[in-house]
Amino acid sequence: MKILKTDIPDVLIIEPQLFGDERGFFYESYNEKAFLDKVGISSHFVQDNHSLSIKNVLRGLHYQIDQPQGKLVRVVVGTVFDVAVDLRKSSTTFGQWVGVYLSSENKHQLWIPPGFAHGFLVLSEYAEFLYKTTDYYAPQYDRTIFWNDPDLAISWPIEDEPIVSAKDKVGKLLQEAEVYS
């Protein structure tokens, strides 16, 4: 496993060690001991999620104001542009974002700690997206920041108007949103 830092040091790219031959490949997508030893994070995961989205679907930017979730995310089919936005008011990187390409080809994973909003844009015909979370989904605490908030100025690799959910159409701007202390 190789750990790569992003522009926001708490958000990490994880490159698994891949074993492959003419039959295919094998890799450990998660190992609690290796995650603690190499990444230095002892988060306990309580929920796994799996989504399928078609090309140009943009999900996010989502977070839970209470019961914040750390997420370990990866793509098993297709390609997405994955984004994490720091919502920790006390952080030196508050309001900053990092974007990473995750795909079934590169097999990279992204660690997004609690205190971040998260979203992704599907770039392939469709994508299957998996994520492990450190707390349970709690709809009463679910919040959304507009994916196109001009203050965030996220450089989404968008070709056409993205497909967003009704929930994501009624998000808030960062300056109006509830954030973490």
Q: Which residues are catalytic?
A: 62, 131
Residue spans of alpha helices (H) in 19-177: 32-34, 166-169
Contact 103, 21 (CB under 8 A): no
Phi, psi values for residue 4, rounded to 5°: -115, 130
Closest CA to 134 of 116, 114, 158: 114
Cβ-Cβ contacts under 8 Å for 107 (sequence gap 6 or more): 15, 16, 18, 27, 74
Contact 13, 6 (CB under 8 A): yes
